[in-house]
Amino acid sequence: MPFVIFAAPLLSDNAFRMIDAAANLPDVQLGVITQDGDDKMRHLRGRAAHWRVDNILDVNQLLWAARELQTRHAPIHRLFGAFEHLQGPLAEARQALGIPGMTADVAANFRDKARMKTLLREAGLPCARHRLAASLAEAVAFAEHSGFPIVVKPPAGAGAVSTYRVESLDQLRRALTQSPPSAANPVLLEEFVVGEEHSFETITINGKHVWHSLSHYYPTPLTVIENPWVQWSIVLPREVDEKEYDDIRAAGRSALDVLGMQTGITHMEWFRRKDGSIAISEVAARPPGAQITTLMSRANEFDLVQEWTRTMVYDEFRAPQRKYAAGAAFLRGQGQGQVVKVHGVAEVQRAVGDLVVDFKMPQIGATPSTSYEGDGYIIVRHPKTERVEQAIMKIISTIRVELG
């Protein structure tokens, strides 16, 4: 019986979902490493061995926990997790312990966005121009060469956190004066790509890309961050194998080959410019956020999280046929203060209630989220993509979360 370890900083609802999926695999003995104590293990008591660390991003602590669990149970068959910032430490720990999986060099290809883009451009793959700037002078030089606007982000960021658009040299100087870049703490600058933003998800096993999905973002996450009143949405079309996506399927798979992807799931963000050309933004070697895992599960009528854990543990993936399109509308508060009322729910229920498969409504009295994912969501599905798009537009144009 293989002994596998799942690592996560905290035992969040999302982490529990993944841990449950691993525990439900046949003939698996499970270990869990977290920063949470045994009191947070809840229903996992008796189903998984647990080891607590103070800082799971510290490779030495991660190694200590893994070795202690191995001594008490069995040799470790797999060590994995979903948290973006944990991918590097997990890779280092695997190499130190001789456990199969992504190596530290490959993890760095995915985590260091400047390194990633350099590798992709050197391979002739389409991505935005970029520069890793260690000083204000280097940042200004890139901006003057690239032209405005440009995007400023941390080299190892995730989920558009600390990412913003800069429109002029004055804005750039003001932004970087407050937090000056240095050799130890550089800033990543990118060409601002104008176009529609999408994602491309792939399951890869031993270097072979065995399954894919894709989505459309309405509008781009950066636009949503810049406009707190905008209610973001994602649509997964049913037609993922149509000719119109030939270019991103080919470029996306080539990009994963260049970055060294062997086994696991990836989440790629990419743009289609107005002239029809594509540009890869960045790739993460982890399950996607923003309810995309749920959307893929609903569109294909399977449990993607369960199949991802099967991939990570057994190098197996049961690829289903896509039966539906699916979409998520994210509900965001407008105004200041706490959530006081959610308008338009009854109208949406009458119009598209038969399409709703998942939802989480904003809680009255709650402090609004600072995330572009907002304070709740409604997920719909239908065999026809256009019907899902219509339903999503109805939801985001009708639902209003009032703050006060």
Q: Helix-strand-coil percent breakdown of the chain, rounded to 5?
A: 40, 25, 35
Least confident segment among 16-20, 40-44, 395-399 = 40-44
* Res 369 pLDDT > 80: yes
Select from 82, 83, 93 the least CA-distant residue to 58.
Answer: 93
- Rounded Cα distance, 20 and 8, in Å: 13
Select from 292, 7, 252 the least CA-distant residue to 159.
Answer: 292
SS3 state of residue 377: strand
* Radius of gyration of the chain, Cα coordinates, nearest whole angstrom: 22
CATH architecture observed for domain 195-403: 2-Layer Sandwich (3.30)
SS3 state of residue 342: strand
Q: Rounded mean pLDDT of 246-266? A: 98
Q: Rounded mean pLDDT of 333-362? A: 94
| End-to-end CA gap in the chain | 55
| pLDDT attached to residue 156 | 62
SS3 state of residue 61: helix
| pLDDT attached to residue 92 | 98
| pLDDT attached to residue 254 | 98
Q: The pTM is what?
A: 0.89
Query: Considering the chain, what is the average pLDDT of its residues?
Result: 91
Beta strands at 208-218 and 233-236: parallel, antiparallel or unpaired? antiparallel
Q: Which listed CATH number (3.30.365.10, 3.40.50.720, 1.10.1740.10, 3.30.1490.20) goes with 129-191?
A: 3.30.1490.20
Q: Give tens-digit pLDDT for 92-133.
A: 999 999 999 999 999 999 999 889 999 999 999 998 888 888
Q: Give tens-digit pLDDT for 22-49.
A: 999 999 999 999 999 988 887 777 789 9
Calculate the CA 300 to chain-centre distance. Answer: 19
Task: Spell out the SS3 assignment of 152-220.
Answer: EECCCCCCCCCCEEECCHHHHHHHHHHCCCCCCCCEEEEECCCEEEEEEEEEEECCEEEEEEEEEEECC
C-alpha torsion sign, points 218, 221, 226, 232? positive
Calculate the CA 383 to chain-centre distance. Answer: 25
For the beta carbon of residue 51, count every other beta carbon within 10 angstroms.
20
Q: Give tens-digit pLDDT for 152-191.
A: 877 765 555 567 788 888 888 887 877 788 888 888 888 8
Q: Which residues pair with 204 in a beta bridge?
A: 209, 264
- Exposure string of 5-27, with b = 16+ CB inside 10 Å and e = fewer, is bbbbbebeebbbebbbbbbebee
Q: Give tens-digit pLDDT for 75-91.
A: 999 999 999 999 999 99
- Rounded Cα distance, 371 and 154, in Å: 17
| pLDDT attached to residue 173 | 83
Q: Give tens-digit pLDDT for 132-154.
A: 888 888 888 888 888 888 888 77
| pLDDT attached to residue 73 | 96
| pLDDT attached to residue 157 | 54
3-101: CATH topology is: Rossmann fold (3.40.50)
Q: Domain locations in the chain?
A: 3-101, 129-191, 195-403
- Confidence band, pLDDT 50/70/90 cuts, at residue 215: very high
| pLDDT attached to residue 151 | 85
- Exposure string of 335-349, with b = 16+ CB inside 10 Å and e = fewer, is eeeebeebebbeebe
- Long-range own/partner contacts, residues 86-89 (CB < 8 A, 24 or more apart): 86/7, 86/8, 86/9, 86/56, 86/57, 87/111, 87/285, 87/286, 89/56, 89/57, 89/58, 89/59, 89/62
| pLDDT attached to residue 400 | 94
